[in-house]
Structures are given as C-alpha cells and as structure tokens.
Amino acid sequence: MQFRLQLSSEAMVTIERLAKEDPKKHKKVLKTLGLMETNLRHPSLKTHKFSSLKGPKGEDVFEAYVENKTPAAFRVFWFYGPNPEEITVVAITPHP
C-alpha cells in the first residue's frame, strides 16, 4: 500500500535545517520518507509502535529508523491519518 505523507511544521523545520547544516543526514531523511511512502514494512525502517507518544486524537504513534547504530541516530515519528492512505510525520529527531 502506498501512502501520502503529511509533514508537521516541526518536521518541515527539521528537514529545512538539515538541508542547510547536514546535507548527508538530509539525504538519509529523504530516503527514509520515500521508503515510508512506498513500503512501511521495509526492513531498514525497523518500524515499530512507540508507546510513550499518542497522536492529537489519541492515534498510535510509530517510529521508523533513519539511521541505526550511530550516535544520536535520527528517527521519524508518525501516525496513520488523518485521511485514508495518509500518514502524518510528527517529528524527525535524533535518538537520545
């Protein structure tokens, strides 16, 4: 199933900042978002439910990996909706 991505303003700011400050990481984030649109089950995403966050209407939030086994590896946090075949990216952040 293919999805259309909706990006929160926070996610957009992160993408714009990375484009200027860290082009290599920016490219990785864009690759991850592309995989999310076409195949949320792609093994490199390691997609799983993130239990300590909920969407604005109580939606389950999921985490997808941008990087793995890297200090402060980036993650994408998202939920299904608000419309069918859409996912909303809540945040793109480094993993603590």
DSSP 40-71: TT-GGG--EEEEEEE-TTS-EEEEEES-SSST
CATH of the domain at 24: 3.30.2310.20
Q: Which domain holds residue 38?
A: 4-94
Q: Which pLDDT tens digit goes with each residue over 43-74?
A: 999 999 998 889 989 999 999 999 988 888 99
Read off the pTM.
Answer: 0.93
Across the chain, mean pLDDT equals 94
pLDDT at 68: 87
Distance CA 74, CA 9 (A): 17
Residue 96 has pLDDT above 80, yes or no: no
